[in-house]
Amino acid sequence: KTVNTKRVIQYFASIAAVGGGGKKDTSKGTLEDQIIQANPALEAFGNAKTVRNDNSSRFGKFIRIHFGTSGKLSSADIETYLLEKSRVTFQLKAERNYHIFYQILSNQKPELLDMLLITNNPYDYSYISQGEVTVASINDSEELMATDSAFDVLGFTPDEKMGVYKLTGAIMHYGNMKFKQKQREEQAEPDGTEAADKSAYLMGLNSADLIKGLCHPRVKVGNEYVTKGQSVDQVYYALGALA
């Protein structure tokens, strides 16, 4: 389904491009290019290896393509549905997390590793190493370049693109955050702050505020807000939900 959809879109785009159709913008690709390049970006963040399929889309999408009176493409929009969120924090042995994590760790763009404060070893990050970390039919280095190029064609600014990468890196650090139970209490407290410091930095937050939000969240009771204590299990659950 994923590949067939891609082929149909490529066909429409190539037909529409004949004769110079399509809106031009010097700061980004043509409309036809943008429609085609939406695929690498969506697949990086929404596709993963499953038992039966190395490039399975783990979300639904509805693509609407609009044509002008001359038969040329005039616009397109994509609606997404039901991303398999649980895969971000858990994978079966024969499966893999979303492609984007392994693309970044491929070391094709070493500056990303430095910016995200990560190594190129997926086993250093528990959220992405519970199943497979490589796929024989996928070259993560090449796919990273395709994803990065797709962002440019789609009109992402450098800051927007870096923001996407930083949030992705923060998720990897989430999985390394550790908490322990306070003595004689059910209250959780951080067991080291290195991973929290890194993830907070990437999100533009204060590390202490992040930890406080996880261990002592504010909840609304009636018309007032109260601070609620969290057990270790509750904190890990909240961390997974945040990821």
Structure pTM? Answer: 0.91
Count of structural domains, the chain = 2
pLDDT tens digits along 192-228: 999 999 999 999 999 999 999 999 999 999 999 999 9
**Helix count (H) and strand count (E) of the chain?**
9, 8
What's the CATH code of the domain at 87?
3.40.850.10
pLDDT at residue 20, rounded to an integer: 53
For residues 60 and 121, give the distance between their C-alpha atoms in angstroms, rounded to a whole number: 30
Domain of residue 91 covers: 2-174
Average the pLDDT over 65-82 and give the result: 88
pLDDT, tens digit, 9 for 90 and up, residues 128-147: 999 999 999 999 999 999 99
Contacts of residue 75, Cβ cutoff 8 Å, sequence gap at least 6: 31, 66
- 140-155: average pLDDT: 97
The percentage of residues in the chain with a pLDDT greater than 70, rounded to a whole number, is: 95
The candidate with the shortest Cα–Cα distance to 140, out of 172, 184, 176, 104, is 104
| Region of poorest pLDDT, from 23-27, 43-47, 110-114, 124-128 | 23-27
Using the 3D structure, point to which of 174, 190, 218 is the last residue of a domain: 174
Task: Please give the pLDDT value at position 27.
Answer: 58
* 82, 115: one domain: yes
